[in-house]
A and B are shown apart, each in its own frame.
Chain A
Amino acid sequence: KQEVTQIPAALSVPEGENLVLNCSFTDSAIYNLQWFRQDPGKGLTSLLLIQSSQREQTSGRLNASLDKSSGRSTLYIAASQPGDSATYLCAVGPGAGNNRKLIWGLGTSLAVNP
Chain B
Amino acid sequence: NAGVTQTPKFRILKIGQSMTLQCTQDMNHNYMYWYRQDPGMGLKLIYYSVGAGITDKGEVPNGYNVSRSTTEDFPLRLELAAPSQTSVYFCASSYVDEQYFGPGTRLTVT
Which A residues fall within an 8 A CB radius of B? 31-32, 34, 36, 41-46, 49, 51, 89, 91, 93, 99-102, 104-107
Interchain CB contact under 8 A, A43 and B90: yes
Partner of A101, one of B48, B98, B101: B48
- In the complex, how many angstroms separate the beta carbon of B27 from the nearest chain A beta carbon? 13
The number of inter-chain residue pairs (CB within 8 angstroms) is 51
CB-CB under 8 A from B94, the residues of chain A are 100
Partner of B98, one of A46, A89, A107: A46
CB-CB under 8 A from B101, the residues of chain A are 36, 43-46
CB-CB under 8 A from B97, the residues of chain A are 31-32, 34, 49, 51, 93, 99-100
Chain B interface size, under 10 / 10 to 19 / 20 to 34 / 35 or more:
20 to 34
**B58 on the A face (CB < 8 A):** yes
Q: Which of B13-21, B38-46, B63-71, B72-80 contacts A (4 or more CB under 8 A)?
A: B38-46
CB-CB under 8 A from A102, the residues of chain B are 43, 45, 99
CB-CB under 8 A from A93, the residues of chain B are 97
Interchain CB contact under 8 A, A106 and B103: no
A105's closest neighbor in chain B, by CB? Answer: B42
- A-B residue pairs in contact (CB < 8 Å), sample of 5: A31-B97, A42-B103, A43-B101, A44-B99, A101-B45
Interchain CB contact under 8 A, B104 and A106: no
Instruction: Report the bound CA distance from A46 to B90 in whole Å.
Output: 14
Query: Given A100-B31, A106-B42, is A34 in contact with B104 using a C-beta cutoff of 8 Å?
Result: no
- In the complex, how many angstroms separate the beta carbon of A39 from the nearest chain B beta carbon? 10
- Map CB proximity to A onto B23-60 as digits: 1 under 8 Å, 0 otherwise: 00000000101000000111111001000000000100
